[in-house]
Amino acid sequence: MNETTKRTTVKEIDDILYEEHKVLDHGFVRVIDYMGSDSAIVQAARVSYGKGTKQINQDEALIKYLMRHHHTTPFEMCEIKFHVKLPIFIARQWIRHRTANVNEYSGRYSILDNEFYIPEQVAKQSDNNKQGSGEAFDSSTSKEIIDSLINDSNLVYSHYEKFIEQGLAREIARTNLTLNYYTQFYWKIDLHNLLHFLRLRADQHAQYEIRVYAEVMLDIVKKWVPLAYNAFIEYSLKSACISKTGLEIIRKLIKGENVTREESGMGKREWNELMSILGK
């Protein structure tokens, strides 16, 4: 408890308030404010006053139980507000998570900076994932593509500046800017929904450009609510979801029985995922 306030504070988060955590070439994540801690989760679960039990191992066991059995409301008692600077195309993915409060920098009222994202390397479209990248291009093709991205970005910004000088309304002048230009927003969210965001966006299958933001935020969560973070890693982020059929297959394998995909009735993709989980 901070002596200057009656609310519970977390020193590890207070120490990094407003500090920029660099992401990509021009982006960042900052913690602006927060409410609650691990003790708030315990308090809500017990519907009591104070800090819960005096023994941290009992609080840890309760938080693990809540995470393991998908009790969500105790985690919603904690909230955090971020200031995020990111490319527009990543912001459009980010905003799909509709359980947060968002206020974005407005190109209608303000002049947008000449800052755009350029990837360090570019890759081909994945052959087996319609949403993902595959193998990298050769160095010559990569340089050609990256040079084009830089040239196009500079060109459209020069047009944007000219439109502004000509007196064109800002809300129209901005429309030619490419999706790799940077935007900013304040993003406030409760811990339960933040962890859902991180489960999806910190996953190895997430697009790199949003995954690196999620990884920075994961580290912040670790500082803020370490007990909840550990439970999240154990029972969500690094765990696996297995179907009823998958469990039946595992039980047979444990008994030493031979199981084929065709016999199981499982689809090829799910079968491959299960075998990957089992290290086969």
Q: How many other CB atoms are found less than 10 A from the CB of residue 23? A: 21
Contacts of 204 (CB under 8 A, 6+ apart): 211
Burial of 67 (0-12, 13-18, 19+ CB in 10 A): buried
Burial of 214 (0-12, 13-18, 19+ CB in 10 A): buried
Indicate which residue of 170, 201, 251, 261 is catalytic.
Answer: 201
**Which ranges constitute the DSSP H helices of 52-138?**
56-68, 88-94
Burial of 223 (0-12, 13-18, 19+ CB in 10 A): middle
CA distance 61 to 71: 14
- Residues counted in the chain: 280
201 catalytic per annotation: yes
Residue linked to tokens 């901005």: 174
Which residues sit opposite 82 in a β-bridge? 31, 187
Residue 17 per-residue DSSP state: B
Which residues have a catalytic role annotated? 201
